[in-house]
Structure 1
């Protein structure tokens, strides 16, 4: 789907002020989408993103809410529909990651990841399944670590594996509605979430682990999201690994 064909289409991006989320927002705006940029805490950054889009001639609004709260997300979807007249694409980049060996992971951290990553994705997917228009797309986010199985990622990977399963089931439940449902599974990507808690040696090792011998960039991931949001009408019920050949 070309930029011209995407003009007039509406996207909601959860976690739209994050590293990958912001890249997705920028790419969809460049493709002609009007975008609702969702945030949970970082209002100032989100407002700045929206202001920059509007100043450049694009169309965007900021929306906030806890993605795991069904009432808050119902309100978010209502606001998007009121502002733009409908929703064609939902990209759910919002998520959290806390790393520790399974033997020592604090169960409160496990519960936090499950609430945001699993329940949050379920709530957003549920609203998307009810609201996305014919010809639309739902894009959830997993991780390449579901394949690489790195130590200390057990709790996080378990939450992301659940997202993959949810995504594949939803694709089949939306039979006949002409809505695609896929998941993107990035590898090591240069974002604040990736760098948090890692020492220089770990970062260097991960930077050279893939055959392309570099970290991914948010733009690398946004390119795939834009493909799934636009022209990829025959890609459905898939997990797309975006990792430079790491796994």
Structure 2
């Protein structure tokens, strides 16, 4: 078990924790002594993450379901309180890609699904945990934004809009609750080795246009690299960092 300031025995919710950055983050928090609610859409993947945490001597519970459903959000909050007695850290990590579609190629269903999962679901869960953080007088929220929250050339219209929204939500939270003991920050991952799916439409303008910019991505990061940044932002070492969108992209945002 590692030593990370302020995380031992804390109650942490990590969404999308069945794989990728979410799983790496859940394991990192558990290794730092935190108790973790593993929230994911996939039951088997969530249970694998919990088993891995328990194998390293940690404590974790699962909540399975679509986080854009308010009933699932309520279950996540209730589970955290029942299992661990508090909600100290929320990591809004779950998300999906779009089809790299340009705006005129984006169908209603694609737009609505991406916005619902990538932006509305984090808002719903954030809104649900805030009363408990306010009552405790403390709390940390870490969102997974994206390189697409910093530029217009990293994804399609829906994903880019959703991740710009996450950046705006993060900054709004930082301002609104800065005097209430609650911090909010986000990481903006660049290329990262995860299992997120991109179903690109053949001969579409979006992928053809974006391909010209993808040479700047650089070497993909490991999910554990992104998790380390999330862990830092949640820790006491980042106690004076609030409202930041932290690129973890190997310098892509500097190109």
Query: What TM-score do the two structures reach when normalised by structure 2?
Result: 0.86
Counterpart of 2:246 in structure 1 is 240
The whole-number CA distance in structure 1 between the counterparts of 2:187 and 2:132 is 21
The whole-number CA distance in structure 2 between the counterparts of 1:191 and 1:222 is 12
The whole-number CA distance in structure 2 between the counterparts of 1:129 and 1:176 is 14
Q: CA deviation at 1:149?
A: 1.8
Secondary structure of 2:162 counterpart: helix
Counterpart of 2:165 in structure 1 is 162
**Judging changes above 3 Å, is the alpha-carbon distance between structure 1 residues 5 and 168 closer, same or farther for their aligned structure 2 residues?**
closer
Counterpart of 2:221 in structure 1 is 216
Counterpart of 2:40 in structure 1 is 39
The whole-number CA distance in structure 2 between the counterparts of 1:151 and 1:228 is 24
Secondary structure of 2:179 counterpart: coil
Would you say the 8 A contact 2:96–2:197 is kept in 1? Answer: no
Q: CA deviation at 1:151?
A: 6.6
Counterpart of 1:65 in structure 2 is 65
**CA offsets per residue over residues 48-101 of structure 1, 9 Å max, x none?**
221221132111111123212223212210111100111110001011111212
Counterpart of 1:130 in structure 2 is 131
Alignment of 1:177-196 (within 5 A): 177-193=180-196
**Judging changes above 3 Å, is the alpha-carbon distance between structure 1 residues 108 and 4 closer, same or farther for their aligned structure 2 residues?**
closer
Query: What TM-score do the two structures reach when normalised by structure 1?
Result: 0.89
Q: How many residues align?
A: 242
Counterpart of 1:8 in structure 2 is 9
The whole-number CA distance in structure 1 between the counterparts of 2:91 and 2:56 is 22
Secondary structure of 2:178 counterpart: coil
Q: CA deviation at 1:190?
A: 1.1
The whole-number CA distance in structure 1 between the counterparts of 2:6 and 2:74 is 28
Runs of 4+ in 1 over 6 A off after TM superposition: none
**Judging changes above 3 Å, is the alpha-carbon distance between structure 1 residues 33 and 44 closer, same or farther for their aligned structure 2 residues?**
same
**Judging changes above 3 Å, is the alpha-carbon distance between structure 1 residues 198 and 131 closer, same or farther for their aligned structure 2 residues?**
farther
Would you say the 8 A contact 1:9–1:34 is kept in 2? Answer: yes
Unaligned runs of at least 5 residues, structure 1: none
> Is the counterpart of residue 97 in structure 1 residue 102 in structure 2?
no
Unaligned runs of at least 5 residues, structure 2: 203-209
Two-structure CA RMSD over aligned residues (Å): 2.5
